[in-house]
Amino acid sequence: MKGYDYIIVGSGIAGLYTALLAREQGSVMVITKGSIEDCNTRHAQGGIAAAIGQDDSPDLHFKDTLAAGDGLCDEAAVRILVDEAPARIAELVNFGVPFDTLDGRVALTLEAAHSVPRILHAGGDATGEHIEVTLSRLVRLARIPVLEDSQAAEILVEKNAVKGIKVLDCHAGSIETFECRHLILATGGAGQLFRFNTNSDIATGDGIALAFKVGAEIIDMEFFQFHPTALHLPGVMPFLISEAVRGEGGILRNASGHPFMPDYAPQGDLAPRDVVARSILYEMEKTGSDRVYLDITHLSPYVITTRFPHIYRFCLDHGLDITKEMVPVAPAAHYMMGGIRTNTWGETNVSGLFATGETACTGVHGANRLASNSMLEVVVFSKRIMERTARGAKAMAPAAAKRPEIKGKLSARQVARALPAPSFTSLQQLTWNNVGVIRDRAGLSRAADILAEWQHKLPPPTDRPSHELHNLVLTGRLIAEAALLREESRGAHYRSDFPEKAPQWQCHIVFTAEQSRGAKSG
């Protein structure tokens, strides 16, 4: 049986960046269920936030992040994020990431809910792709072993300590076991839960499901960010139209051409994502349309084609010239704020098990992620994982609760009615209709009931699609159950039956496999 000091599951920016750091401390292997190029990072258009501008400061970045998080950010984690950002950006530059410049300086742009321009980008709107390509090239040059087309099937744990991992060869169908001292989950999010999403097809909640099954704490799952502006064209999969488009002056208009966002929020088109997403749905309902429009035709064609070349080319390939025509858009699932609970060193409550990137919940995003903080979170906390393991890591010690928590367990549910058969399509439709942008008790209860029954009925997984369906069903249950428990509206979580924010809900909902559902502590 092969053994490594570090096994990293996932080959996006989180996995690749961590692998490059880990090779300095021991033997490393990366496991990815697709190829090294398959990841959500490529879809990250907006950029990476850091307070490096003359009129900016970590304190200002800190305040903006807390404001977006709506009362649930871990302030210590946010302080680490903003203070360590400039050093991590410098490291990316040293790795060779080609950030865009203007007059010899790194170009900074503005996105919603940031008080000043602080977003670095590369290739205009292709930041994620440039970072991922740079890191994947370095991983190959370093000859770090990458096990492609390999699905992580089971984490092996003994006495609450990681011993290794079972991996499915997606082509041969065989299982191989690897030992490791440190297992780092960098598997990305779970956007494929929803019918309309901006994610890569690898985003199936794998890390959440794997970690939950071995007793890791899962936290804040009700907070799933829906991006307000995904391209909405017949026969075309949703494609992200970056928030930076509105940052550059894009105007949202309804089917009649009315610029509606000032009707809903004083910040207008630069209101927080959750506000904009709900406003778009309300406007679509009012006008009887399945879309609204993002208008940038007042900007010069030069600005559009140089600042957003990827978006421009994609739309043009589908018959839409965004320099002359408005862009049809609608909300789509985008980013998971919750995930595997970690401390500020990336440690979970299972010894030797770490998580980084979207699958982790470090506490920096709270109830709503500030735009472009996600890639920054990856590099800051992946670096800290390496610093921690260099000194000898243990399981995350239970911390004194800074605010109350609700402990939960996925309970058995009874379903008296006929159910649709469990499938990828029926799952996406169920969650989009009942666990989407706007939620209520009836819809959430229906989703939780059906997901529980599906989880009970699904046969054991034997290949990548069946493993992904299992992982999505479990992850979907965690989201639905958490959203059902939280009887308020906060950040990205909106309940039409509890539309106001309630002070008693300034708390976290935590699930582990062993806990009793609904018992309060704090």
Catalytically active residues are 273
The Cα 202–Cα 444 span in angstroms is 25
Asked if 201 and 238 touch (Cβ cutoff 8 Å), the reply is: no
Question: Could you tell me which of 423, 396, 501 has the C-alpha nearest to residue 77?
Answer: 396
Asked if 191 and 197 touch (Cβ cutoff 8 Å), the reply is: yes
Alpha-carbon dihedral of residues 226, 384, 515, 415, nearest 10 degrees?
Answer: 30
Question: Could you tell me which of 308, 364, 277 has the C-alpha nearest to residue 78?
Answer: 364
Q: Which residue in this structure is represented by tokens 């858009």?
A: 329
The Cα 459–Cα 402 span in angstroms is 41
Question: Could you tell me which of 202, 48, 5 has the C-alpha nearest to residue 134?
Answer: 48
Distances (CA, A) of 364 to 61, 64, 68: 12, 11, 10
| Amino acid occupying residue 6 | Y
Q: What is the 3-state secondary structure (H, E, C) of 393-409?
A: CCCCCCCCCCCCEEEEC
Q: Which residue in this structure is represented by tokens 């009362």?
A: 71
The Cα 460–Cα 444 span in angstroms is 26
| Nearby residues of 198 by Cβ (< 8 Å), 6 or more positions away | 43, 191, 227, 230, 238, 239, 240, 332, 333, 334
The Cα 331–Cα 429 span in angstroms is 15
Pairs from 231-234 (Cβ < 8 Å, separation ≥ 24): 231/314, 231/315, 231/327, 231/328, 231/329, 232/290, 232/291, 232/328, 232/329, 232/330, 233/318, 233/320, 233/328
Asked if 181 and 354 touch (Cβ cutoff 8 Å), the reply is: no
| Amino acid occupying residue 432 | W
The Cα 202–Cα 205 span in angstroms is 9
Strands 175-185, 353-355: parallel, antiparallel or unpaired by DSSP? Answer: parallel
Distances (CA, A) of 482 to 190, 220, 475: 15, 7, 11
